[in-house]
């Protein structure tokens, strides 16, 4: 058919309509240009509303699979995953891994606990009922490589391997991240993946709060899970809550813990504590390392007692505290005075080894030196404090503020800004080696604590 005949067959109306629609389109474009940029920003912000990315849509296939500690790390582990609302019965299978696929014949199946909730309770989300499933593996053998998978009997995850802890004290390696928080998929992915390249054999990973920016916004959690991918299902996570994990669900309502937090992380519950603190304040004992995780947002007095109880009862060789807010703030205008007044004296008293913080979007390492006239004790230290950031948001470093903490008995050693970091901490014999890496995988900072386990005396070398 020739063009001529085409035109002949189509009446002029159509050409007019096409011209009109083009004019109309130009008009619409012009009008929208007059709207304030705010509208466009908001549009961008909620771009997913009603049109989810395929990787945030729940299905029958398990996604957001993550390991956490629940009980003795030598004999137990928890796994949590998500599906759509049609999956009501889920299981996890586990077996000691073998060199071939025959381990599946010995796999034990455990029924999952299923927790449904509507993401739409937060207006920034699409109204969608999701199911979170969790299983706690118990009675595992220490220091064994296990393979597990999760699913409903038809739709399965891949088999995923992890190693149980040893029962006795032995070398351990783990990773620690400051705030990931913003543009997590775009800009945190390379950091967690570089950390995985540096320490693939890490036994666990500490997230020191502000994992995402808007507590309940499911798109951001989707980003967090996608950024880490299978790493989340292979490394065991120790997540701490930041201030950004607390927001109101609807306007005018009080701030509330991220609606996803408890369903998606199966964490130890400290029954003696107020219910509000459950799964945000807990302790992990890993091969003679005690990690006390705090919620620095809420009910701080109650946690002062908790810290004392956990430190007093600790027989661990190393004691580590994790909380979001920085005890010695490197960022301009920040101040967590409560912790310095109420928590630091306890950390001094019980000779805590390491405090890991976030919140300030800068980098700082310092410590509490032991003041002495003895030359041999010149490098003697008590607690080493670190603040770090893994995500793209960066604040201004305030060196004067850091130096000002000298009056609180703190000595600033190394600081940094405008850099994304991850840290790898190794414990072996009587040494704890702390190394901070930049997003490029380059070493930025290193500190070695050498401890006399009998006297508790510690020397710091850099």
Site of interaction with Fe ion (CB under 5 A): 179, 181, 210
CB closer to Fe ion, 127 vs 248: 248
CB closer to Fe ion, 137 vs 422: 422
Report in angstroms how near the CB of residue 180 gets to Fe ion at its nearest: 9
Nearest alpha-carbon partner for 289 in 138, 172, 456: 172
- Cα distance between residue 82 and residue 150, in whole Å: 10
Nearest alpha-carbon partner for 178 in 401, 389, 368, 424: 389
In the chain, DSSP finds a helix count (H) and a strand count (E) of: 11, 24
Nearest alpha-carbon partner for 137 in 124, 128, 148, 121: 148
Is residue 398 within 8 A of residue 415, CB to CB? The reply is no
CB closer to Fe ion, 97 vs 322: 322
- Cα distance between residue 299 and residue 276, in whole Å: 9
Is residue 157 within 8 A of residue 225, CB to CB? The reply is no
Report in angstroms how near the CB of residue 173 gets to Fe ion at its nearest: 26
Q: Which residues pair with 114 in a beta bridge?
A: 133
Report in angstroms how near the CB of residue 244 gets to Fe ion at its nearest: 6
- Cα distance between residue 213 and residue 243, in whole Å: 9
CB closer to Fe ion, 210 vs 288: 210
Report in angstroms how near the CB of residue 133 gets to Fe ion at its nearest: 30
Tell me the backbone φ, ψ of residue 393, rounded to 5 degrees: -70, 130
CB closer to Fe ion, 179 vs 398: 179
| Secondary structure of residue 387 in the 3-state scheme | strand
CB closer to Fe ion, 126 vs 185: 185
CB closer to Fe ion, 210 vs 353: 210
Report in angstroms how near the CB of residue 398 gets to Fe ion at its nearest: 16
Nearest alpha-carbon partner for 346 in 381, 303, 376: 303
CB closer to Fe ion, 74 vs 364: 364
CB closer to Fe ion, 144 vs 393: 393
Half-sphere exposure (Cβ direction) of 287: Cα atoms closer than 13 Å: 19
Terminal Cα distance for the chain, rounded: 82
Report in angstroms how near the CB of residue 389 gets to Fe ion at its nearest: 8
Other CB atoms closer than 10 Å to residue 423's CB: what's the count?
Answer: 26
Other CB atoms closer than 10 Å to residue 343's CB: what's the count?
Answer: 23
The CA-atom distances, in angstroms, between 68 and each of 73, 205, 264 are 9, 10, 10
Report in angstroms how near the CB of residue 179 gets to Fe ion at its nearest: 4
The length of the chain is 462
Is residue 428 within 8 A of residue 216, CB to CB? The reply is no
CB closer to Fe ion, 151 vs 209: 209
Report in angstroms how near the CB of residue 245 gets to Fe ion at its nearest: 10
CB closer to Fe ion, 112 vs 386: 386
**How is residue 179 annotated by DSSP?**
B
Other CB atoms closer than 10 Å to residue 117's CB: what's the count?
Answer: 16
Report in angstroms how near the CB of residue 72 gets to Fe ion at its nearest: 32
Nearest alpha-carbon partner for 365 in 300, 426, 412, 324: 412
Report in angstroms how near the CB of residue 448 gets to Fe ion at its nearest: 29
Report in angstroms how near the CB of residue 150 gets to Fe ion at its nearest: 31
Residue closest to Fe ion (Cβ): 210
């Amino acid at each position: 058919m020739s063009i001529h005949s085409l035109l002949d067959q189509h009446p002029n109306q159509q050409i007019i309509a096409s011209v009109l629609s083009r004019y109309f389109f130009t008009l619409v474009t012009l009008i929208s240009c007059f709207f304030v940029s705010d509208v466009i920003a908001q549009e961008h912000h909620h771009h997913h509303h009603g049109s989810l990315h395929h990787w945030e849509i729940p299905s029958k296939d398990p996604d957001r699979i993550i390991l956490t500690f629940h009980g003795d790390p030598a004999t137990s582990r928890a796994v949590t995953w998500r599906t759509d609302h049609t999956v009501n019965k889920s299981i996890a299978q586990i077996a000691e891994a073998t060199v071939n696929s025959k381990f599946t014949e010995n796999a034990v199946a455990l029924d999952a606990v299923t927790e449904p909730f509507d993401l739409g309770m937060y207006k920034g989300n699409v109204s969608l009922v999701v199911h979170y499933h969790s299983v706690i593996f118990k009675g595992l053998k220490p220091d064994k490589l296990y393979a597990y998978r999760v699913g409903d009997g038809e739709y399965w995850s891949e088999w995923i391997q992890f190693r149980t802890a040893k029962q006795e004290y032995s070398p351990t390696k783990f990773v620690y991240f400051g705030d990931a928080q913003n543009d997590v998929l775009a800009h945190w992915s390379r950091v967690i993946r570089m950390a995985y390249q540096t320490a693939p054999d890490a036994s666990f990973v500490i997230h020191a709060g502000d994992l995402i920016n808007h507590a309940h916004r499911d798109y951001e959690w989707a980003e967090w899970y996608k950024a880490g991918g299978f790493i989340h299902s292979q490394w065991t996570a120790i997540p701490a809550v930041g201030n950004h994990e607390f927001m109101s669900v609807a306007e005018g309502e009080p701030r509330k813990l991220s609606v996803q937090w408890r369903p998606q992380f199966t964490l130890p519950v400290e029954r003696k504590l107020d219910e509000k603190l459950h799964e945000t304040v807990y302790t992990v004992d890993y091969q003679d390392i005690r990690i006390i995780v705090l919620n620095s947002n809420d009910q701080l007095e109650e946690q002062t007692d908790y810290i004392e109880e956990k430190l007093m009862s600790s027989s661990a060789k190393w004691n580590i505290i994790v909380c979001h807010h920085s005890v010695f703030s490197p960022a301009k205008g920040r101040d967590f005075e409560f912790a310095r007044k109420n928590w630091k004296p306890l950390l001094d008293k019980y000779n805590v080894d390491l405090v890991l913080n976030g919140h300030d979007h800068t980098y700082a390492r310092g410590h509490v030196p032991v003041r002495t006239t003895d030359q041999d004790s010149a490098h003697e230290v008590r607690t080493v404090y670190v603040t770090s950031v893994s995500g793209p948001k960066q604040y201004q470093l305030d060196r004067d503020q850091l130096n000002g903490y000298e009056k609180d008995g703190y000595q600033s050693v190394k600081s940094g800004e405008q850099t994304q970091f991850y840290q790898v901490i190794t414990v072996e014999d009587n040494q704890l080696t702390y190394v901070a890496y930049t997003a490029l995988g380059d070493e930025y900072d290193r500190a070695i604590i050498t401890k006399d386990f009998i006297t508790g005396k510690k020397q710091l070398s850099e």
